[in-house]
């Protein structure tokens, strides 16, 4: 019996030693780039790290991230993208339309994982959502802007039934604006009872204050804040402006509500982050962007800042409150 057990014990010991040896070996360090038009903050980095960690990647352990932030200076984007290419990163994550466009301009070989973009086919980034066919894949917010804006106008009508004047504050430097048909948007607004729609653009960070002065002179009942003004770090200032003037304001980014804005309706940001982590993992394991279908956002949230609502005296009809999926203080 002893002679039979000894080979088994030796085999088990050898297997255990082999596993321990593998466990003790350092994991291969992977290098990726992250390109954003926004400001560099510890909170923003940590938020992205959490999504990558869910996919099995921890910065400093098995992942090196080359962070590049334009700090709202959109003109710097191509240069930052070129830096990442020269560093020979394995892929580039781009968290805005402008960063995706900049990365695509400087490389057609390094994989690009875009986040929350729009119209990637029309912009020439991919051939189709199902078969991207190039070096770009990732997530898109919507493929149909008209559908989104119909929902936006309906939300505002439900929230403020008597509203008739709206002002839209956009990032005028965002090339995506050329894909929107303002005439269609105005017609949709008119059908919802908005007789006046004014558009104001911010093109540089130093234009935030003057743009808000124009908003004030337009005397809107509701203010729509485009998500991409966050590229200038404008959300806190805009939210404070709307709060001071007790103005109902709405954005398609919940970052605006976190900054103190009243309402947002848009994609569930955490789910987009986690999807991004999955794309990164698949590509680092050998998958090609050309073969990874681009995913549209399926989970949307209506977020209300309850503290702001109380401060401005926002009391919507009961039916509107049923649409709110999240409240924050």
- Helices 42-54 and 269-284 cross at an angle (nearest 10°) of 60
**Does a structural domain hold residue 18?**
no
Measured distance CA(267)–CA(140) in Å, rounded: 10
pLDDT band at 16 (very low <50, low <70, confident <90, very high): very low
The Cβ of residue 144 has, within 10 Å, a number of other Cβ atoms equal to 11
Whole-number Å distance between alpha carbons of 329 and 40 = 25
111 and 97, same structural domain? yes
Q: Are 225 and 170 in contact (CB under 8 A)?
A: no
Q: Do 171 and 318 belong together in one domain?
A: yes
Are residues 116 and 79 part of one domain?
yes
Pair (274, 205) in one structural domain:
no
pLDDT at 13 over 60: no
Residues 193 and 324 in one domain: yes
Domain count, the chain: 2
112 shares its domain with 84? yes
Cβ–Cβ under 8 Å, residues 103 and 87: no
Structural domain contains residue 21: no
**Together in a domain, 171 and 34:** no
In a domain, 13, yes or no: no
Q: Is the domain of 180 the same as that of 47?
A: no
Q: Tell me how far the alpha carbon of residue 295 is from its chain's centroid.
A: 13
**Can you tell me the distance from the alpha carbon of 80 to that of 36, in angstroms, rounded to the nearest whole number?**
9
Domain that holds residue 66: 30-142+268-298
pLDDT in tens, 92-106: 999 988 899 999 999
Q: What is the pLDDT of residues 217-262, one digit of tens each?
A: 999 999 999 867 766 678 899 999 999 999 999 998 888 999 999 9
CA 14 from chain center: how many Å? 49
Classify residue 206: in a domain, yes or no: yes
Order of strands across the sheet that contains 30-36: 63-69, 30-36, 92-94, 112-118, 136-142, 295-296
- By the 10 Å C-beta count (0-12 exposed, 13-18 middle, 19+ buried), 92 is classed as buried
> Contact 70/38 with Cβ under 8 angstroms?
yes
How distant is the alpha carbon of residue 7 from its chain centre? 58
Same domain, 46 and 97: yes
pLDDT tens-place string over residues 300-326: 889 999 999 999 999 999 999 899 999
* Domain containing residue 245: CATH number: 3.40.50.2300
- Estimate to the nearest angstrom the gap between the alpha carbon of 26 and the chain centroid: 33
Q: Is residue 223 part of a domain?
A: yes
User: How far apart (Å, rounded) are the C-alpha atoms in residues 266 and 58?
Assistant: 28
Q: What is the DSSP letter of 285?
A: T
Residue identified by tokens 């935030």 is 208
Residue 70 domain-assigned (yes or no) = yes
Q: Coil, strand, or helix at residue 15? A: helix
In a domain? residue 19: no
Percentage of the chain surpassing pLDDT 70?
89
Instruction: Please state the separation of Cα 213 from the chain's center in Å.
Output: 28
Verify that 305 and 170 share a domain, yes or no.
Answer: yes
Up-side HSE of residue 157: CA atoms within 13 Å toward CB?
A: 14
Let me know whether 43 and 125 are in one domain: yes
**pTM metric for this prediction:** 0.76
Q: Do 218 and 112 share a structural domain? A: no
CB contact at 8 A, 303 and 264: yes
- Is 165 domain-assigned? yes
Cα dihedral 38, 44, 47, 53, rounded to 10, equals 90
């Amino acid at each position: 019996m002893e002679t039979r057990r000894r080979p088994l014990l030796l085999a088990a010991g050898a297997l255990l030693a082999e596993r321990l040896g593998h466990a003790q070996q350092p994991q291969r360090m992977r290098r990726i780039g992250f390109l954003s038009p926004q400001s560099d903050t510890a909170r923003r980095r940590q938020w992205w790290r959490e999504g990558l960690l869910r996919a099995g990647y921890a910065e400093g352990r098995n992942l090196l991230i080359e962070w590049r932030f334009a700090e709202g200076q959109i003109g710097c984007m191509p240069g930052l993208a070129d830096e990442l290419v020269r560093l020979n990163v394995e892929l580039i994550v781009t968290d805005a339309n402008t960063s995706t466009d900049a990365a695509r301009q400087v490389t057609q070989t390094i994989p690009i994982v875009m986040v929350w973009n729009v119209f990637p086919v029309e912009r020439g980034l991919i051939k189709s959502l199902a078969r991207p066919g190039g070096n770009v894949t990732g997530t898109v917010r919507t493929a149909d802007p008209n559908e989104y804006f119909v929902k936006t106008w309906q939300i505002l009508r439900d929230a403020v039934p008597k509203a008739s004047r709206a002002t839209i504050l956009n990032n005028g430097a965002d090339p995506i604006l050329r894909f929107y048909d303002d005439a269609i948007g105005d017609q949709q607004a008119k059908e919802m009872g908005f007789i006046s729609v004014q558009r104001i653009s911010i093109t540089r960070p130093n234009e935030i204050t003057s743009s808000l002065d124009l908003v004030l002179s337009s005397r809107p009942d509701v203010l729509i804040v485009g998500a991409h003004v966050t590229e200038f770090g404008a959300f806190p200032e805009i939210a404070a402006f709307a709060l001071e003037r007790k103005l109902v304001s709405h954005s398609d980014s919940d970052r605006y509500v976190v900054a103190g804005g009243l309402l947002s309706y848009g994609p569930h940001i955490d789910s987009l982050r986690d999807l991004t982590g999955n794309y990164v993992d698949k590509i680092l394991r050998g998958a090609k962007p050309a073969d990874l279908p681009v995913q549209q956002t399926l989970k949307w949230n209506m977020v209300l800042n309850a503290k702001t609502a109380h401060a401005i005296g926002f009391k919507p009809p009961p039916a509107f409150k049923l649409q709110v999926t999240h409240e924050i203080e």
